[in-house]
């Protein structure tokens, strides 16, 4: 079942949603899909709900779009890991066309100063790009789309 986003991941995604249009692209968060009432009742009767969260799993957190195409995105904060389902989906898309990335915001404190690093990674945490500003990360995502994916 879908897990509630951490506040840091939510803030990270909202920041991308604000910056992306300024650079000519769109970051669209994929909402959870709630099954129909009939489907919910059928699953309740079959005792298939293990938790109270009835949302169906979505393929990833968001779709990043530019005039050159789309990119599937999973957003993570610090060292949060991909779930098994997220990793399986990401690997399928990476193998198919390379148009899946994990974007990560890493925060740390060094010498009493907040340090933020933005990363673009694949499902096995290989780093494609790393920068200190969210605009630089968004521009790199646009380059990935324009090049036809990480496999191009």
Task: Determine what percent of the chain is predicted with pLDDT higher than 90.
Answer: 70
Global confidence as pTM: 0.81
Domain residue ranges in the chain: 7-146
Average pLDDT over residues 73-90: 94
Decide: residue 81, CB within 10 A, 0-12 exposed, 13-18 middle, 19+ buried.
Answer: exposed
Q: What is the rounded average pLDDT for all residues in the chain?
A: 87
- State the pLDDT at residue 1: 37
Select the more confidently predicted residue: 32 or 48: 32
The tokens of 61 are what?
């957190």
Select the more confidently predicted residue: 17 or 49: 17
Residue with tokens 């990363």: 119
Average pLDDT over residues 36-41: 71
Is residue 31 helix, strand or coil? coil
Fold of the CATH domain 7-146: Trna Endonuclease; Chain: A, domain 1 (3.40.1350)
35 has a pLDDT exceeding 90: no
């Amino acid at each position: 079942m879908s897990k509630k986003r951490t506040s840091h991941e939510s803030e990270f995604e909202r920041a991308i949603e604000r910056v992306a249009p300024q650079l000519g692209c769109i970051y669209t968060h994929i909402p959870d899909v709630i099954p129909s009432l009939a489907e919910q009742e059928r699953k309740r009767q079959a005792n298939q709900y293990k938790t109270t969260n009835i949302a169906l799993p979505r393929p990833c957190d968001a779709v990043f779009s530019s005039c050159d195409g789309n990119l599937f995105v999973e957003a993570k904060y610090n060292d949060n890991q991909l779930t098994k389902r997220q990793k399986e989906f990401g690997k399928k898309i990476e193998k198919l066309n390379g148009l899946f990335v994990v974007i990560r915001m890493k925060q740390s404190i060094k010498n009493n100063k907040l340090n933020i690093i933005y990363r673009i990674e694949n499902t096995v945490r290989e780093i494609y790009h790393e920068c200190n500003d969210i605009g630089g990360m968004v521009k790199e995502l646009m380059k990935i789309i324009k090049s036809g994916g990480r496999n191009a």
